[in-house]
Structure 1
Amino acid sequence: MRLFWRVFWLNALMGVVATVLLMIGPWTVSAPVRLTEAVVLVAGTTTMLAANAALLRWGLAPLDRLTQLMGTIDLLRPGQRLPVTGSGEIAALIATFNQMLARLEAERGLSNARALSAQEDERRRIAQELHDEIGQSLTAVLLDIKRLTDRAPESLRADLRQVQEVTRDSLDEVRTIAHRLRPGVLEDLGLMSALASLTNQFEGLAVRRELDPGLPPLSPQAELVIYRIAQESLTNVARHSGATEAVLELSVDPDPGGAAGGGVTLRVRDNGRGTGGEHEGAGIRGMRERALLIGAGLTIRSEPGQGTEVTLRVRTTEQGDA
């Protein structure tokens, strides 16, 4: 029954009962009103208001839960739904809201997939241009400087060697940036070698790796997501956590979230100061978007002074699809 009719019939019932009692009972309303008559009227009115309040509170409680969920919903944390309780238009509203969330999550996933695919293509293009254009140009400059250094007077050789070192450092930096933009080792040697190489790229941070050699087959997209999230996690540790040590672990998870076929778990933890409940930045939200791209679950646990732990659980099937 719709909430409108519940309230209507309750009020109608209370009115009929009051009318019948006045018709067959000893109660009357005099002018001026007597004390006993006033007590009866106040009691009847109070009873009607209490019944209406109880009905409306019970009937509108699902709307309160819906309002709370609408104020806190985050499409980067999918699966948040309300149980369809109540009846009539309230149950229909909750069911419609749940369906809307499902559509928004699906559309967000498709949009993220297109955006991240375009982002990877752009990274690949920029990395290729850095390697082919700027890298080769700097290499040519280095050769020219070396030739000039061999021919220059002794008084200029020290300055030319300094210029040569600066140019060589610039070339190394360009190669490092190109490597971060496009992890060629991931495509050429696979995920394990790419992660092993990644752990050696952070100066001042000791990264211990624990890589399970018995991983199930993963799709190229899943391997790229795992690598990018590991890269972003370690970059955050090196830049913001103040940590001196970190652990990168990749292991087989026989039952991630109850998914058939098992899966793979990536875990990155450090001994830094933790996030302290800070608002998630663009880097973490980017990791959540990448996790959604392959239907993986991403959790971040951090306590002040106890470091941060990033966990990515990737579901796989026997065919290796993620």
Structure 2
Amino acid sequence: MRRLTVSLFWRIYLLNAVVLVVATISLVFGPVSVSTQPVFAEIIVLVIGLAALLALDGFLFRIGLAPLRRLSRAMTSVDLLRPVSRPVAAGGGDVGEVIRTFNAMIDRLESERGRSAARALSAQESERRRIAQELHDEIGQTLTAVLLDLKRVSDHAPRQVASELREVQETTRSSLDEIRRIAHRLRPGVLTELGVRSALRVLASDTAERAALQVDYTCDPDLPELDAETELVVYRVAQEALTNITRHARAERVMVSLDRAPHRLELLVRDDGVGMAGADEGAGLQGMRERALLIGARLTLDTPPSGRGTDIRLDIPLASAHPAAADTRSVTQESP
């Protein structure tokens, strides 16, 4: 059986209304009355007065409890991955104190989630570097040795066997190239050595080659100098966005741009695929949102003006950025 729930407003209002109704009835029929036998006109006046009091009472209660309604709406919309504005603690008293306490609680939760996400992502990056190193040093060297052994054996084998061995060599070489690509995606050395501009250009080129997509990459020549953490977040968000596009979007063309706007830096990844209407956000998008929070950025998903595909936009505030020398590189990378 479903339990009947009554809002706080109606609980207080109905209790107050009962008091007023009982007081009015007592005034009409009790010993303290306007006249010994109340006349109809007096009852009408009292009823009208009671109705006016109830209306005024309800109006005042609505005003007094409005902050609690705003707090209730804020509670239902809280998402630590998508920070929203806090309810205003207007006035003093208990209601204002409840709102201030709620805001302080959300601040603590967001701060703790940010620290937890930073630790988790730092551990993830360390594990990526370790796996990439092992792929390069262990498996890569082992496959290289296998290739050399296959070549040595095929040089002394009969023609038919040598032909088969060469096919095995090509398969092994393809596997070695794929392992190197995986290691590069796990640990983009170009990001550390040349910065996010060049790293994004290489990422666009690799995606175009691997997925047979047309990938256009442009970079604002007047970008500020970014710290290592911000560059890593920009790169990983672009990487995850391109990965999602190649897996799910069924797109033919992708645009990646890194531009400077007043007081912010904007990364935009736009595709012309099937879009995300009605689709649930997966772990990839949640990971991008967590990375965005680490640097105080905002990640949004929209539909492009064309009405097809998806815009993944990362807005990064530049309050703490330092101007850098102009980088005149602006590249358009397309698949052959």
Shorter-chain TM-score tier: 0.7 to 0.9
SS in 2 for 1:201: helix
Residues 1-322 of structure 1: matches in 2 within 5 Å?
23=32, 25-26=34-35, 28=37, 46=51, 49-85=54-90, 88-202=93-207, 203-256=211-264, 264-302=265-303, 305-316=307-318, 317=320, 319=322
- Decide which moves more: 156-165 or 191-200: 156-165
CA separation of 1:27 and 1:162: change in aligned 2, threshold 3 A: farther
Task: Provide the TM-score with structure 1 as the length reference.
Answer: 0.84
- Decide which moves more: 14-23 or 49-58: 14-23
1:28–1:37 Cα contact (<8 Å) kept? no
1:259 is matched with none
Structure 2 letter corresponding to 1:93: V
2:245–2:271 Cα contact (<8 Å) kept? yes
Structure 1 letter corresponding to 2:213: L
The gaps in structure 2 that reach 5 residues or longer are 1-8, 325-336
- Decide which moves more: 106-115 or 46-55: 46-55
Separation in 2 of the partners of 1:285 and 1:320? 31
2:217–2:255 Cα contact (<8 Å) kept? yes
Separation in 2 of the partners of 1:207 and 1:117? 29
RMSD: 3.2
- Residues 98-131 of structure 1, C-alpha deviation per residue, up to 9 Å, x if partnerless? 1111111111111111111111011001100000
Separation in 1 of the partners of 2:321 and 2:76? 39
Q: Pick 1 or 2: higher relative contact order, CA cutoff 8 A, min separation 6.
A: 2
1:7–1:52 Cα contact (<8 Å) kept? no
Structure 2 letter corresponding to 1:278: A
Identity between Structure 1 and Structure 2 (%) = 49
- Residues 250-299 of structure 1, C-alpha deviation per residue, up to 9 Å, x if partnerless? 1122323xxxxxxx211111111211142211111111111111111222
The size of the alignment, in residue pairs, is 308
Separation in 2 of the partners of 1:178 and 1:320? 33
Task: Provide the TM-score with structure 2 as the length reference.
Answer: 0.81
SS in 1 for 2:206: coil
Separation in 2 of the partners of 1:315 and 1:225? 13
The gaps in structure 1 that reach 5 residues or longer are 257-263
- Decide which moves more: 36-45 or 78-87: 36-45
1:62–1:85 Cα contact (<8 Å) kept? yes
